[in-house]
């Protein structure tokens, strides 16, 4: 069965139909740049452009880089502050001609996909998915159950948001070498490990494609650390999964 997934990020909006039997994209994804400022209306236009590219008319799962409760966005770290308190599900549904829309946190979506089809499949105990990109997203699982909206990229590290110090954007903005950036990621992982003691860290986001350049450099973390198997498609897959699960639960 195919369901459409869209992943809204701080730098790009990407989406594709997803084959939920395989846990993979059914077609090559389409991506547009995230508008700046990333206001609700402007981002909704980008989402509509991605969906229209495929001529899709059915339900759509959509991720958002922030806290989402019951379709309402409650935080906005890497998008316009106008998102705070917005009924994102209603806005995006109206922009998609009334299609049923499911909205959830982006890292939560990626984590659900990895726990079902990827690096976390079959893993019990405490598992932490971390996505490194414009910011740092987090998804916490306890015996396979998601604890939603953890947003651990905003933990304080060296007196500021951890994501401003250890995200992929920080690496690019400061032109850090892989070893220098790996030390920052190591300090962040050690901090998260101190708080949650996971047995497994799954490292996602676009940088997971280059895991060999930094994961072997990370030392002093007790938990197993592995790259995401679905890499930067995990959010799209997880969004489609959430959409399908919501439809299945409807009376």
Q: Does residue 248 surpass a pLDDT of 90?
A: no
Does 2-108+233-249 match 122-229 in CATH topology?
A: yes
**Torsion over CA of 67, 70, 71 and 74, rounded to 10 degrees?**
-30
Mean residue pLDDT across the chain: 96
Could you give the CA distance from residue 168 to residue 121 in angstroms, rounded to a whole number?
A: 26
pLDDT one-digit tens code per residue, 80-138: 999 999 999 999 999 999 999 999 999 999 999 999 999 999 999 999 999 999 999 99
**pLDDT for residue 250:** 77
Check pLDDT > 80 for residue 251. no
Cα atoms in the Cβ-side hemisphere of radius 13 Å centred on 88: 32
pLDDT confidence of residue 162: 96
The residue-averaged pLDDT of 33-59 equals 97
Fold of 2-108+233-249: Nucleotidyltransferase; domain 5 (3.30.420)
Residue 204: the pLDDT is 97
The per-residue pLDDT for 103 is 98
User: Domain coordinates of the chain in residue numbers?
Assistant: 2-108+233-249, 122-229
Q: Residue 23 has what pLDDT? A: 96
Q: What is the pLDDT of residues 165-202, one digit of tens each?
A: 999 999 999 999 999 999 999 999 999 999 999 999 99
For the cut 90, the answer to whether the pLDDT of residue 247 exceeds it is: no
In the predicted structure, residue 77 carries a pLDDT above the cut 90: no
Higher-confidence residue of 78 and 90: namely 90
Query: Is the predicted pLDDT of residue 2 greater than 80, yes or no?
Result: yes
Could you please state the CATH topology (level 3) that the domain comprising 122-229 is classified under: Nucleotidyltransferase; domain 5 (3.30.420)
Per-residue pLDDT, 158? 86
């Amino acid at each position: 069965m195919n369901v459409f997934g869209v992943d809204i990020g701080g730098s790009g909006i990407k989406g594709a139909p997803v084959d939920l039997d395989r846990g993979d994209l059914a077609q090559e994804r389409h991506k547009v740049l995230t508008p700046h400022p990333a206001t609700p209306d402007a981002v909704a236009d980008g989402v509509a452009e991605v969906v229209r590219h495929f001529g899709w008319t059915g339900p759509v799962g959509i991720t958002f880089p922030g806290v989402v409760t019951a379709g309402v966005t409650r935080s906005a770290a890497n998008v316009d502050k106008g998102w705070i308190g917005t009924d994102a599900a209603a806005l995006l549904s109206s922009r998609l001609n009334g299609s049923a829309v499911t909205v959830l946190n982006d890292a939560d979506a990626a984590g659900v996909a990895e726990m079902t089809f990827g690096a976390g499949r079959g893993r019990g105990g405490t598992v932490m998915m971390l996505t490194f990109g414009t910011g740092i997203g987090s998804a916490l699982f306890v015996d396979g159950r998601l604890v939603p909206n953890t947003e651990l990229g905003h933990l304080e590290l060296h007196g500021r948001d951890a994501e401003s110090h250890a995200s992929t954007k920080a690496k690019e903005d400061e032109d850090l070498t892989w070893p220098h950036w790996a030390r920052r990621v190591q300090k962040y992982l050690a901090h998260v490990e101190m708080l949650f003691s996971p047995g497994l860290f799954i490292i996602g986001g676009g940088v997971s494609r280059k895991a060999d350049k930094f994961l072997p450099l990370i030392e002093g973390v007790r938990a197993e650390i592995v790259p995401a198997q679905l890499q930067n498609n995990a959010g799209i897959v997880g969004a489609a999964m959430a959409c399908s699960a919501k439809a299945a639960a409807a009376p």
